[in-house]
Amino acid sequence: MKYDYHIEVFAIGKWLNIVMGSREYCRGYLNARQDLSPRPAYRLMRSDGQIVDQYAPRDDVSVGMIAGFPTAEQYEAAAKRALEMAAVIRERKERELQSLHLA
């Protein structure tokens, strides 16, 4: 039996279908995101509802490309950038919610 495949991401409290394609395309999509951090949970679904593969969410934040071991200053700088990105995301979500209420 031939199946259709799609990728789902866990966001806003539910699983959302974001990509449809062949099994190989969907696996490639997941493989490209497996080392991203932070990232939401992803899963590869088959058209009969079977979960083929899944990645748990990851909350850690990468310091970046460094030689050797990261210093305390590098972790602090990475934390500062992560907090700045979190603020940008919160502002964007607030604008989206406000635009939904105005519509």
Neighbour count for residue 43 (Cβ, 10 Å):
18
Could you tell me the pTM of the whole model?
A: 0.65
CA quadruple 36, 57, 63, 88: dihedral positive or negative?
positive
Is-contact 90 80, C-beta < 8 A? no
Q: Could you give the C-alpha distances from 78 to 26, 57, 59, 83, 101, in angstroms and in order?
A: 31, 19, 13, 9, 35
CB 44 within 8 A of CB 5: yes
What pLDDT is stored for residue 8 in this prediction?
A: 96
Predicted pLDDT of residue 63: 66
Residue 29 contacts residue 7 (beta carbons within 8 Å): yes
Domains of the chain, by residue range, sit at 5-55, 63-103
pLDDT in the model for residue 71: 77
Predicted confidence at residue 67, as pLDDT, reads 60
Averages of pLDDT over runs of 10 residues in the chain (103 residues) are: 92 92 94 85 95 90 66 83 90 87 70
- The predicted structure's pLDDT at residue 103: 59
Do strands 42-46 and 5-11 pair parallel, antiparallel, or not at all (unpaired)? antiparallel
The residues facing 54 across adjacent strands are 43
Return the pLDDT at 1: 78
